[in-house]
Chain A
Amino acid sequence: MRNPFGEMFRGFGAVFYKEALHIRRDQMALFFTLIIPLLQMVLLGFGIDTNVRQVRTIVLDENNHVESRELIDRLRNSDTFRVIAYAHTDRELNDAIISGRAKVAVKIPWDYSDQLLKHDTAQVLVLIDGSDSSVAGQTINVATAIGLDESLQRVLGGRQALPVEMRPQLLFNPDSRSPNFFLPGLTAVLLLNVTTFLTAFAIVREKEKGTLEQLFVTPVKPLGLMFGKILPYLGIGFGELCLILLLMVTAFRVPIHGNTVLLLVLSLPYLFVSLSIGLLVSSRANSQSEAMQLSFLTFLPSIFFSGYIFPRDTMPLPFYIISYFVPASYYINITRGIILRGAGIMHLWRDGLVLLGMGTGLILLAAKRFQKKVIAT
């Protein structure tokens, strides 16, 4: 008599071995599968810099005195503004903004230095192109800060030290480098490509060919079939993860502050969840294009509600609630925690456990759906 546990997974070995053969046969596909997420990472990693720097600025200096030139120097010395041209008329100034040549226009009025001497308020007009909100927000802050600083210096006569100075210090990512913040989250999204997609395709291909129906008349058990199908892809997903981390550490110089082994171990439950989602997708989809669309559909919450792009804390309540059901939320917590903050198992075990629970639930659901299908096509 077979043991009942082995019985539940009947056929696992055969399916696993066969799936591994498929993968080995099609090395071209394997190569592209592995290389594409890395390319995406390179493009996104080098392309995206969320810090606002060197904003193109045009200046109209009607005053043209020492005081106005000092102000312009301050603007230029901040990393935020880059003066690309000097205008001579209001019209030129406006044109530069409308045409997009400059994002910021600064107009120093003819009476700027006079007003300063009279101890009146000297007004400086700063026009900002609001079509890019992150640029606009940050430029406003910097421009206001420069104005405030200039005022204080003048009020205090320039010699006295400032009475209060705030010294904010960014922990974990001292240089505010975008890749440091961005890549750990991206890892979660990129892994979906080699997990959800691949498993969904692996099963739907058999549906299209008719071999799945054939398998259903054999004594293979749904769980044996599922695990046999996903385990080879768990291997691929894990390999991909290692490549991604390697690229992140070397090419992007994002160090892993925490324990790398812990990161790898806690990645397993996430890979498991994504693979199970692939199974679920394949229980629904009947063709490869359907599988592709459905998989993309499952990617969307991982991209938008996981904290990868928009911080979870500032989400509207409904989205915040949704984010609790998105596996990537937990995984991004794990990657950012370990990579950026050096978090340990005591901080992250809950996330790992939730992922493991999700994966188990999903794979049982998929097995149930396949069991039904066996007896109803």
Chain B
Amino acid sequence: MVTQVPSNSAPIRAENLTRRFGDFIAVSGVSLRVEKGEVFGLLGPNGSGKTTIIKMLTGLLPPSGGNAWVDGLDVRTHSEAVRERIGYMSQRFSLYDDLTVAENMQFYGRIYGLPAERLRKRIEAIVALNGLEPYLGRLAGKLSGGWKQRLALSCAMLHEPKIMFLDEPTAGIDPVARRQLWDLIFDLSGQGITFFVTTHYMDEAERCSHVAYIYYSKLIADGTPEALKALPDVNPPGTRRVEITAPEVTRALRMVREMDFIRSATIFGQSIHALVDDRFDVDDLKAQLAQSGIIVSEIRPLQPSLEDVFVALTYKHKAELEAVNA
């Protein structure tokens, strides 16, 4: 029988997790801890190692170094038991297109060995949650992208896992469907299910209760979105962030970047987000722009976004790497 590490063990824990493919290091010394009921969002550029981490945590890929525990079980030694306790929606999750929605769910339920009666009840409960009721008899291949993802999520959780791994569950679906899928995720996390989700979308990251950022195989940020936004690296002493709203933003941006109290500036919709130092003077900026015929309509203080956080940390990390290499 499998022995479970009791008490304070978090649903997901990794220590110094490392994975090499030949000489290439895909994941390097990653440590993290996800608490029960959290929605943990892992972000990072393409090829940074997100999927590799998930594969190690789900027991699909043995780590080259370090350790990881899922539901208190060592993934190296108990990968089978781990598999029974988790739900996993892989990055390429695909359904059986030539089976109906109901048949897809039945298949996954059976494979986990749910008895017929319990399976029927589970499907009923899930369908009530995800709204797939009207589509039960439809071929999975005929569903739209958003519905497919919801069905995939449902299939991955038929066996009532307490821990779910979702690898880019919203890739390629429209914003409304994305929102609906996230609403579903939050419903479930409210019921005590722990989620480990990877994504490329900042707005999704903002909704997570816990985010981490991986950059070239290394975890360079880990915490609640609020904690990350308050990091000193993100808010260098003597700087603050402002939003400048003006017509002709592109031309305005070019001029703003020339000003000596501006550290960095980017366009965000119809406005400019800028990091400024303490020499910043609202009237000076307005006056300089007015000379070129640009009338600023609004300037207001701005909280850093998660994107700002990741951009700042990436720059810092890059600089450190270059310093090491030099």
Residue ranges of A at the interface with B (Cβ–Cβ < 8 Å): 10-11, 13-15, 17-18, 21-22, 25-26, 209-211, 213-220, 374-377
Contact with A along B78-99 (1 / 0, CB 8 A): 0110011010101011111011
24 cross-chain CB contacts under 8 A:
A10-B113, A11-B111, A14-B107, A17-B110, A18-B103, A21-B98, A21-B103, A22-B98, A26-B98, A209-B94, A210-B92, A211-B94, A211-B95, A213-B92, A214-B90, A215-B111, A216-B60, A217-B59, A217-B86, A217-B90, A218-B108, A220-B111, A375-B62, A377-B60
Q: Output the least CB separation between B36 and chain A (Å).
A: 21
Q: Are B98 and A18 in contact (CB under 8 A)?
A: no
Q: Is B245 an interface residue (CB 8 A)?
A: no
Q: Are A218 and B83 in contact (CB under 8 A)?
A: yes
Q: In the assembled complex, which residues on chain A have CB atoms less than 8 Å from the CB atom of B98?
A: 21-22, 25-26
Q: Are A214 and B88 in contact (CB under 8 A)?
A: yes
Q: Are B93 and A21 in contact (CB under 8 A)?
A: no
Q: Output the least CB separation between B274 and chain A (Å).
A: 43
Q: Output the least CB separation between B279 and chain A (Å).
A: 54
Q: Among A11, A14, A18, A374, point to the contact of B60 (Cβ < 8 A).
A: A374
| Known contacts A14-B107, A21-B98, A219-B83; 13 further A-B pairs (Cβ under 8 A) | A17-B110, A18-B99, A22-B99, A25-B98, A209-B92, A210-B92, A214-B88, A217-B60, A217-B88, A218-B112, A219-B112, A219-B113, A377-B60
Give CA–CA (A220, B92) in the complex, Å. Answer: 19
Which residue on chain A has the smallest CB distance to residue B1? A1
Instruction: List B residues 204-226 near A (Cβ within 8 Å).
Output: none
Q: Are B111 and A213 in contact (CB under 8 A)?
A: no
Q: Are A217 and B83 in contact (CB under 8 A)?
A: yes
Q: Are B84 and A18 in contact (CB under 8 A)?
A: no
Give CA–CA (A220, B111) in the complex, Å. Answer: 6
Q: In the assembled complex, which residues on chain B have CB atoms less than 8 Å from the CB atom of A15?
A: 111
Which residue on chain A has the smallest CB distance to residue B155? A214
Q: Are A210 and B111 in contact (CB under 8 A)?
A: no
- Main SS class of interface, B: loop
Q: In the assembled complex, which residues on chain A have CB atoms less than 8 Å from the CB atom of B60?
A: 213, 216-217, 374-375, 377
Q: Output the least CB separation between B16 and chain A (Å).
A: 20
Q: In the assembled complex, which residues on chain A have CB atoms less than 8 Å from the CB atom of B113?
A: 10, 219
Q: Is B67 an interface residue (CB 8 A)?
A: no
Question: Shortest 7 CB-CB distances between A and B: which pairs?
Answer: A210-B92, A14-B110, A14-B111, A217-B88, A25-B98, A209-B94, A18-B107
Give CA–CA (A220, B108) in the complex, Å. Answer: 10
Give CA–CA (A354, B149) in the complex, Å. Answer: 48
Contact with A along B96-118 (1 / 0, CB 8 A): 10110001000110111100000
Residues A13 and B110 in contact in the complex (CB < 8 Å), given A21-B99, A213-B60: yes
Q: Is B28 an interface residue (CB 8 A)?
A: no
Residues A218 and B94 in contact in the complex (CB < 8 Å), given A21-B99, A213-B60: no
Q: Output the least CB separation between B23 and chain A (Å).
A: 17
Q: Is B194 an interface residue (CB 8 A)?
A: no
Which residue on chain A has the smallest CB distance to residue B81? A219
Q: Output the least CB separation between B105 and chain A (Å).
A: 12
Which residue on chain A has the smallest CB distance to residue B92? A210
Q: Is B61 an interface residue (CB 8 A)?
A: yes
Q: Among A14, A17, A21, A210, point to the contact of B90 (Cβ < 8 A).
A: A210
Q: Are B80 and A219 in contact (CB under 8 A)?
A: yes
Which residue on chain A has the smallest CB distance to residue B114? A14
- Main SS class of interface, A: helix
Q: In the assembled complex, which residues on chain B have CB atoms less than 8 Å from the CB atom of A215?
A: 111
- Most chain B beta carbons < 10 A, residue from A10, A13, A21, A377: A21
Q: In the assembled complex, which residues on chain A have CB atoms less than 8 Å from the CB atom of B84?
A: 219
Q: Output the least CB separation between B49 and chain A (Å).
A: 15
Q: Are A211 and B112 in contact (CB under 8 A)?
A: no
Q: Are B79 and A25 in contact (CB under 8 A)?
A: no
Q: Are A375 and B79 in contact (CB under 8 A)?
A: yes
Q: Output the least CB separation between A198 and chain B (Å).
A: 15
Q: Output the least CB separation between B280 and chain A (Å).
A: 51
Q: In the assembled complex, which residues on chain A have CB atoms less than 8 Å from the CB atom of B61?
A: 375-377
Q: In the assembled complex, which residues on chain B have CB atoms less than 8 Å from the CB atom of A209?
A: 92, 94
Residues A213 and B90 in contact in the complex (CB < 8 Å), given A10-B113, A219-B112, A377-B61: yes
Q: Output the least CB separation between A9 and chain B (Å).
A: 12
Q: Output the least CB separation between B112 and chain A (Å).
A: 6
Q: Is B58 an interface residue (CB 8 A)?
A: yes
Q: In the assembled complex, which residues on chain A have CB atoms less than 8 Å from the CB atom of B55?
A: 377
Q: Are A210 and B107 in contact (CB under 8 A)?
A: no
Residues A214 and B93 in contact in the complex (CB < 8 Å), given A21-B103, A25-B99: yes
Give CA–CA (A210, B55) in the complex, Å. Answer: 14
Q: In the assembled complex, which residues on chain A have CB atoms less than 8 Å from the CB atom of B99?
A: 18, 21-22, 25
Give CA–CA (A17, B79) in the complex, Å. Answer: 26
Contact with A along B279-305 (1 / 0, CB 8 A): 000000000000000000000000000
Q: In the assembled complex, which residues on chain B have CB atoms less than 8 Å from the CB atom of A26?
A: 98
Q: In the assembled complex, which residues on chain A have CB atoms less than 8 Å from the CB atom of B88?
A: 214, 217
Give CA–CA (A25, B141) in the complex, Å. Answer: 13
Which residue on chain A has the smallest CB distance to residue B104? A18
Which residue on chain A has the smallest CB distance to residue B139? A25
Which residue on chain A has the smallest CB distance to residue B79? A375
Q: Output the least CB separation between B81 and chain A (Å).
A: 9
Q: Among B59, B92, B94, B107, point to the contact of A17 (Cβ < 8 A).
A: B107
Contact with A along B146-158 (1 / 0, CB 8 A): 0000000000000
Give CA–CA (A26, B139) in the complex, Å. Answer: 13
Q: In the assembled complex, which residues on chain B have CB atoms less than 8 Å from the CB atom of A211?
A: 94-96
Which residue on chain A has the smallest CB distance to residue B110? A14
Q: In the assembled complex, which residues on chain B have CB atoms less than 8 Å from the CB atom of A216?
A: 60
Which residue on chain A has the smallest CB distance to residue B55? A377
Q: In the assembled complex, which residues on chain B have CB atoms less than 8 Å from the CB atom of A21?
A: 98-99, 103
Q: Output the least CB separation between A201 and chain B (Å).
A: 14
Q: In the assembled complex, which residues on chain A have CB atoms less than 8 Å from the CB atom of B90?
A: 210, 213-214, 217
Q: Output the least CB separation between B121 and chain A (Å).
A: 18
Give CA–CA (A138, B88) in the complex, Å. Answer: 69
Q: In the assembled complex, which residues on chain B have CB atoms less than 8 Å from the CB atom of A11?
A: 111
Give CA–CA (A181, B69) in the complex, Å. Answer: 64
Give CA–CA (A375, B60) in the complex, Å. Answer: 5
Q: In the assembled complex, which residues on chain A have CB atoms less than 8 Å from the CB atom of B62?
A: 375-376
Give CA–CA (A374, B55) in the complex, Å. Answer: 11
Which residue on chain A has the smallest CB distance to residue B80? A219
Instruction: List B residues 248-279 near A (Cβ within 8 Å).
Output: none
